Structure 1
Amino acid sequence: MSAYVVGLTGGVGSGKSTVANWLVEQGAGLVDTDAIAHELTAPGGGAMAALIASFGADIATPDGALDRAAMRRRVFADPAARRQLEAVLHPMIRQVAEQRCHSDPAPYVLLAVPLLVESGAYRRRCDRILVVDCPVELQLARVMLRNGLSSAEAQAIISAQATREQRLAIADDIVLNASRTEDLHAPLCRLHTAYLAQAAEKAKANH
């Protein structure tokens, strides 16, 4: 992967998309592993034949997409099913992500991976890791508001992810998103300038 890759992560509700969108507007590339997962499990998606072979036809909707609700129930009830799902999907997602990072013409690429902490494979591919951070109570409030969930449901989602401390431990750069979106612009501007310089250095070293 020759592109300069900035791994972007953060807990649910931290504001990763806000940060990614702003940096993309400045000229960064974006490879989003969640979006790739959706493509692979859409009607006719590249993972559907393997998923049906693993789990049976009842995990597909009539139009041939992954029935997310049915799959979620299955993996929630059965850890072995979760591992099986990950064994099918994750290598495919990584392969597509790597190809896109490699071919993106932008000066640097944001590789957005919600579970970056948990996944050593992605961390090895990143030149820098940018963590979007916010206090857990704010994260909880945002998830409840955005998804219409109860406090217990939102807490369950947050608890299933790496902790705030684990994310901060792997960060090269941290953006605190705890108040107004406008407050992000100055720190993001500094990071964008730094990433452009670091990407240019890497390109020079590789020639």
Structure 2
Amino acid sequence: MMRIIFTNNVCNENEIKPLFFSAFSIRVKAGVTLAAAVSPYVMIVDCTDAVTAVSSTFTQPVLDKPPTFVSGIPGNSPDVSDDNVIATSLGKFTTTDPDTTCSVTLPVTTVYEIRKVASPTDPQKPEFEVWISNAVTQASIDFNDPPVSLTLTIKCTDRNVLNDITGTFNVNIVDSVSCVHVIIGYGNPDELLGKH
């Protein structure tokens, strides 16, 4: 809570003076950003003419604008073979929020994870990447494994649950092609197999 004092001195209280009205402005100081998380801001305003003092309050609410996905959500990964069991970047997305950093989460999974980009192009728009986790195994990403969810629901929050937003990122897992090697030849089978 802040206190603001206005003063207006009168030269001689015995003199008949016309009634004066003073107009004042309350402004946010340069370099200060009002945060919706601590809204409303309440200020006590004191006004005195050196004889009489009065006080009142001034309340300034701050509206919370929701975060947004700037790019990459909704998104799609390139085709990834289900025999790829190493950590792989699947795609990037960007968020923004006017007054705070958006916190990004996805459903609990041992297969996929979100990593924050250390040096985004624009610091006001954090960038995140969707990855196949370091701990992934081939069994957990098998194309033929029904429990694996290929659509990730990503949530972005600025700690005001009323403003939570969600988006989807589709992971395109494709079945690896099985290779069968066939030897075709003519002649004596023992000679083809190296038997003499």
Structure with more contact order per residue of length (Cα contacts < 8 Å, sep ≥ 6): 1
What's the TM-score bracket when you normalise by the shorter of the two chains?
A: under 0.3
- Greater per-residue helix proportion: 1
TM-score w.r.t. the length of structure 2 is 0.22
TM-score w.r.t. the length of structure 1 is 0.21
Larger radius of gyration: 2
- Greater per-residue strand proportion: 2
